[in-house]
Structure 1
Amino acid sequence: MGARRSARFLARSAAGVLAAAAVTVGVAVPASAAPLWPGGPDISLPPIPGITAPAPGVPTPPVAPPAPVEAPRGPANFSAPALNPSAGEVVGVAQPIIVRFAAPIDDRAVAERAIDVTTSAGDVAGRFFWFSDSQVRWRPDVFWPANTTVTVTAGDASSTFTVGDAIVTTADDDTKTITVTRNGEVVRTMPTSMGKVGHETPNGTYIVGERFRDMYMDSSTYGVPVDAPEGYRTYVEYATRMSNSGIFVHAAPWSVDSQGVENVSHGCLNVSTEDAKWFFETAQKGDPVVVQNTDGGILNGRDGLGDWQL
């Protein structure tokens, strides 16, 4: 507001100066005018380039202030970026808004001004963070209010999605237990086994991503050959991704005796088949999974599902 107020003040001041100049030159004083009083100053003025005095008796036309110039709302290549979540999706309370542009953005501040986020819950404070010159993300400062409608517009693109119930999962290495709440009420408690020594599960707030009814987990995907001493290729069921680095909540019937007792996984949250199936069917995209009290450091905020560390 201060910048706009100053701009308007300067525009009015400039208009006043121009108007005053027009009135002055409108006097049509001869080149060698007499003083207004004996010994007084000569009131003759030098001509002002580009301004011609009107004829005597002709009123001076008003001088309009210059039209304000509005700052551009977005860069030239800001048409129809891809938006995530897409229209109609239902997501969890930790889900960020992801805007992917068709081309790199030169002026990030201009791009941010062209992105609007509104909610049915009123104003929700949040901030932008850039993953690259062609991808910016926005998330609230705290989790979204549950059961809220959110609309994001960016350039020519728009998406309206819904934040569902607040399903918050906490995995605590002190108790080796996973606790799931829905809108503040505990709905399930599950014993777990997390990452063993050398593969400790990082602490932090993860975001639920894709889900697989079954899949093969392969150590070669992060650089450890399957035939190496620490290598593996294991079939698992009910796998719910919580990091792009390969951490899942999944069924591990082979470690049931260790769940709730000791950590034996390569970083994933091992649970029973029954608990894994329940979580697979209950968790939704964007739900937070908070891991705490491990020796695994902090989840990388650039993981892609680690936005809450940024």
Structure 2
Amino acid sequence: MDEKPMHFQANTQQARWLRRGLLLSAAVAVTGALVTVSAQAQPVLPGVGTGSTQPAVDQPVEQAPFAPPNINIADGETVGVAQPIIVTFKEPVEDRAAAERHIKITSSTNPAGYFYWTSSRQVRWKPAEFWPANTDVNVVAGGTTSSFHIGDAVVSYVDDDTKMITVTVNGEVVREMPTSLGKPGYETPNGTYIVGERLEKMTMDSSTYGVPVTDPEGYKLEVEYATRLSNSGIFVHAAPWSVGQQGYSNASHGCLNVSTADAKWFLENSHRGDAVIVSNTEGGTLSAGDGLGDWN
């Protein structure tokens, strides 16, 4: 049997390499029985094989242009789907773009989002829409880190037309509560609120927003089960004195009055960062600069 020419054996070996995906970009020189593959035939790809994403020893990592800042969500904390990430710096930041480059936010769901500055010492980040429920998030900012959890999607809807608060968890209605919103002259603003602090007891004082206690519209009283919705002083709280109006008419100075049982349930079943959406009032819209009005 005649022997096959050597160049045919070389081409057959080359075909095997191609079929196995090993010949990515080759310079092949055939000389008799010798097949020489250049060093470029097997390029190193980032994150593949011997590739490395770590900087070379002689390439120092750029230092963050700020001291370790404060991150508003504690390591291990569970927050609601409306919670923004707030980074507060020790000193004013001059180069905001550089600061943003040194804040790394990763999560198990990776929703699209964006930074927005509230002052030279504070930047916030939130997803374009509410966080997906049950997302794990990690934040690294100039030496400060926080790993936390986004819990179930607890979203409450407040409708001034029906005077009802409808609480949903992951899209399912779990409770409906009659309410009394802000009366004429004190209308509750529309908009998306973020649950803040929760207090089993607190003193509400009209003088804190400019209405003396001695004024006909003034007051100073202790309330139970108060869940903050705005820095301007809007709460869901127990108001046993207005139970007869809850579900029918508005009697508050802007808060959402509910029964003691409903207020207790709401406080105990809310997380910081849950969303409360108010609609159909005559009170305009909650200010985005309120501190808990990031979605407006």
**TM-score (normalizing by structure 1):** 0.75
Q: Which secondary structure does the structure 2 equivalent of 1:307 belong to?
A: coil
| CA positional deviation for 1:70 | 9.5
Q: 207, 210, 217: which is aligned to 2:194? A: 207
| CA positional deviation for 1:279 | 0.2
Q: 269, 272, 284: which is aligned to 1:297? A: 284
Please list, as runs of the form range in 1=range in 2, the aligned pairs for 1:30-179 lying within 5 A after superposition: 74-75=64-65, 78-121=66-109, 123-179=110-166
Aligned to 1:234: 221
Runs of 4+ with deviation above 4 angstroms: 69-73
| CA positional deviation for 1:74 | 3.4
Q: Which runs of 5+ in 1 are unaligned?
A: 1-68
**TM-score (normalizing by structure 2):** 0.79
Deviations 1:253-293 (A, max 9, x none): 11011001010100000000110010010011000010011
Q: Which runs of 5+ in 2 are unaligned?
A: 1-58
| CA positional deviation for 1:242 | 0.5
> 1:108, 1:71 → 2: CA distance?
19
| CA positional deviation for 1:72 | 5.1
> 2:97, 2:74 → 1: CA distance?
24
1:286 aligns with 2:273: yes
Q: Which protein has the larger Cα radius of gyration, Structure 1 or Structure 2? A: 1
Q: How many residues align?
A: 239
Letter of the 2:237 partner, please give it: H
- RMSD of equivalent CA atoms: 1.5
Aligned to 2:249: 262
1:247 aligns with 2:234: yes
Letter of the 1:81 partner, please give it: P
| CA positional deviation for 1:102 | 1.0
The answer (yes or no) to whether the contact 1:200–1:267 under 8 Å persists in 2 is: yes
> 1:295, 1:72 → 2: CA distance?
52
Letter of the 1:74 partner, please give it: A
> 1:71, 1:162 → 2: CA distance?
29
> 1:189, 1:88 → 2: CA distance?
31
